[in-house]
Amino acid sequence: MGLLSDPVRRRALARLVLRLNAPLCVLSYVAGIAWFLALAFPPLTQRTYMSENAMGSTMVEEQFAGGDRARSFARDFAAHRRKSGALPVAWLERTMRSVGLEVYTQSFSRKLPFPDETHERYMVSGTNVYGILRAPRAASTESLVLTVPCGPDSTNSQAVGLLLALAAHFRGQIYWAKDIIFLVTEQDLLGTEAWLEAYHDVNITGMQSSPLQGRAGAIQAAVALELSSDVVTSLDVAVEGLNGQLPNLDLLNLFQTFCQKGGLLCTLQGKLQPQDWTSIDGPLQGLQTLLLMVLQQASGRPHGPHGLFLRYRVEALTIRGINSFRQYKYDLVAVGKALEGVFRKLNHLLERLHQSFFFYLLPALSRFVSIGLYMPAVGFLLLVLGLKALELWMQLHEAGVGPEEPGGTSGPSPPLLPTQTVGLASLVAPLLISQATGLALYILPVLGQHVAAQHFPVAEAEAVVLTLLAIYAAGLALPHSTQRVVSTQAPDRGWMVLKLVALIYLVLQLACIALTNFSLGFLLAATMVPAAALTKPCGPRPLWAALLVLTSPAATLLGGLFVWRELQEAPVSLAEGWQLFLAALAQGMLEHHTYGALLFPLLALGLYPCWLLFWNVLFWK
């Protein structure tokens, strides 16, 4: 008979699981963490390679020579911008038309849920300007996008100049098979989101915008450009997008190919790539880069306009020009040639980029870790929770098992059903109360900001963050009120049933999160799994309580911020870190409302109620 049906083998398996449970759990957890740390080292990393045939074998010769023109456009743009204070729409329209593009504008406006203190805005409105270069011999079914986000100041004027010069150069070529859209957005990412929503005719974030007059077919790829000065020492590329989505690896490979061809230095997260992978230094730096990427991907923020394109299945990258204290500098012609090469190669695409990886981690720009190699790390971590759940189930049933147990109990063993129903009934209250607290955490801060601002001398943005923290901390006081509700019916082993349900709930959430955003899933698993597995109402309660509080979602966020700054070699003190934390909370909520970022609802509605269940287990009377 099979393993699942043979009682002798089942009993042996059950005994094995119960006896070896603790060592297996520890081994599994350590294996998960070790596997993750080993990802930066050579057997698990591979060199990147171009998978798409259409972009591999053809040679292009770049002919862009409009450096001076770009600079003059940039100067004009900066001057007009300073004069008008906002985006000089009329000047842009005129210039784009003179270069030979079809020009359209789109106005948008949005009232943010509460004032944004980092960018100092509340009622946001602006105009996007875009020009379409129609391909001379194609049917306008596919297009590429070059976008330059413009914030409230004129820091990105060089990029606008380069965009216009490139448009002028591209207009004179006959080989374009896809339309090219040159997009200048205002209010940086808000403008990009407004344009994308209007282009794809959806309304997911409540932005009010005028409909687009001109379209150019399905967008195949997009490049976002940010240049702060007219000479650069290196080009930095950002890949992490909204909710941890990543562009197809081929786009990154393409960009890197052209940087190498033109002799440009390209960097990831501002640091040069280690050349030496044989000694220990290369992989160690790779590990630092990997950890930074994991932290950035887990935050779910779009690290540039490209992050918003990814949601519509448009592969996109953000390229930032960095001007550091290096001797050799490249001017706009070099950057323009690289972009020209990228666009010419993208022009060759026959279908959307799909050959290469969509899920990967980057220890360096030329090395990657594929999903098949990094998933076991989170698998090992979730195995711990599975083993604990199995152990709890077996412990719950060892008293009331049927007549196959050897020796048998002295009298008739108590039937399982009454304990089961009492256990299940006493579960409903903690579950409902935890979910209700999570719901309050999600809805109340933004809803009650005006009431809070009236009663306390704080600004609205601060009121929101402080309400959030207050509700979060109030959840810690819950077990006392929950116990009062169900005090008479809770049996002694009721905490085991609650812990079992909480463990299964946590495993389900972490598994679903890890499938769509590995970094977030791994980070939450690495912190919450030990606390969840170890929590019980007996033993040193203050120790378990401290462990549980230290691994709660908010504490993970705080710790993550400190580690992030540490890895960027710009460590912060406690006070600064706390300010960063408050700002991150506010940004997280804002991004949920303005771009549809999912970190805030996941933590408030999913992981915080689950954590509260464990807190309830800890304080079971």
Which of 24, 444, 453, 511: binder of other proteins (CB under 8 A)? 511
145: left (phi > 0), else alpha (psi -120 to 50), else beta?
Answer: beta
Alpha-carbon distance 385 to 383, whole Å? Answer: 5
Between 118 and 421, CB nearer to other proteins: 421
Total site size for other proteins, rule CB under 8 A: 33
Mind spelling out the 3-state secondary structure of 529-562?
Answer: HHHHHHCCCCCCHHHHHHHHHHCCHHHHHHHHHH
Token pair of 424 as six digits:
């299940």
Q: Shortest Cβ distance from residue 508 to other proteins (Å)?
A: 5
Token pair of 537 as six digits:
């109402």
Between 85 and 415, CB nearer to other proteins: 415
Token pair of 527 as six digits:
């912190």
Asked if residue 21 binds other proteins (CB under 8 A), the reply is: no
Interface positions, 117-146, toward other proteins (CB under 8 A): none
Asked if residue 508 binds other proteins (CB under 8 A), the reply is: yes
Asked if residue 512 binds other proteins (CB under 8 A), the reply is: yes
Q: How many CB atoms lie within 10 A of CB 540?
A: 9
Token pair of 150 as six digits:
């413009």
First CA to last CA distance, the chain: 44
Between 505 and 608, CB nearer to other proteins: 505
Which of 276, 351, 398, 404: binder of other proteins (CB under 8 A)? 404
Between 58 and 516, CB nearer to other proteins: 516
Beta-carbon contacts of residue 265 (< 8 Å; ≥ 6 apart): 233, 234, 235, 259, 272
Q: Shortest Cβ distance from residue 529 to other proteins (Å)?
A: 17
Which of 23, 172, 211, 406: binder of other proteins (CB under 8 A)? 406
Q: Shortest Cβ distance from residue 110 to other proteins (Å)?
A: 20
Looking only at the bridges linking them, the beta strands covering 46-47 and 315-322 are: unpaired
Asked if residue 408 binds other proteins (CB under 8 A), the reply is: yes
Token pair of 600 as six digits:
């805030």
Asked if residue 15 binds other proteins (CB under 8 A), the reply is: no
Asked if residue 218 binds other proteins (CB under 8 A), the reply is: no
| Residues 565 and 572 sit within 8 Å (Cβ to Cβ) | yes
- Interaction pattern, residues 345-364, with other proteins; x per rule: CB under 8 A: -------x-x---xx-----
Q: Taking the CA of residue 588 as centre, how many other CA atoms within 13 Å lie in the half-sphere pointing to its CB? A: 24
Asked if residue 444 binds other proteins (CB under 8 A), the reply is: no
Q: Shortest Cβ distance from residue 499 to other proteins (Å)?
A: 14
Region of 7-15, 17-25, 45-53, 550-558 interacting with other proteins (CB under 8 A): 7-15
Region of 221-229, 415-423, 445-453, 459-467 interacting with other proteins (CB under 8 A): 415-423
Asked if residue 375 binds other proteins (CB under 8 A), the reply is: no
Which of 17, 444, 470, 504: binder of other proteins (CB under 8 A)? 504
Beta-carbon contacts of residue 10 (< 8 Å; ≥ 6 apart): 3, 4
Between 214 and 601, CB nearer to other proteins: 601
How far lies 137's CA from each of 163, 175, 177, in Å? 23, 9, 7
Token pair of 327 as six digits:
């001797």
Alpha-carbon distance 130 to 214, whole Å? Answer: 9
Asked if residue 7 binds other proteins (CB under 8 A), the reply is: yes
Going by C-alpha positions, the residue among 143, 150, 144 that lies closest to residue 92 is 150
Which of 60, 390, 534, 554: binder of other proteins (CB under 8 A)? 390
Which of 31, 218, 272, 416: binder of other proteins (CB under 8 A)? 416
Alpha-carbon distance 193 to 576, whole Å? Answer: 31
Interface positions, 153-212, toward other proteins (CB under 8 A): none
Beta-carbon contacts of residue 472 (< 8 Å; ≥ 6 apart): 441, 554, 608
Asked if residue 403 binds other proteins (CB under 8 A), the reply is: yes
Q: Say which DSSP state 525 is in.
A: H
Alpha-carbon distance 268 to 367, whole Å? Answer: 11
- Interaction pattern, residues 306-325, with other proteins; x per rule: CB under 8 A: -----x-x------------
Alpha-carbon distance 616 to 485, whole Å? Answer: 13
Q: Shortest Cβ distance from residue 132 to other proteins (Å)?
A: 25
Asked if residue 4 binds other proteins (CB under 8 A), the reply is: yes
Chain residues binding other proteins by CB under 8 A are 1, 4-5, 7-8, 10, 245, 311, 313, 352, 354, 358-359, 389-390, 393, 400, 402-404, 406, 408, 412, 415-417, 420, 504, 508, 511-512, 515-516
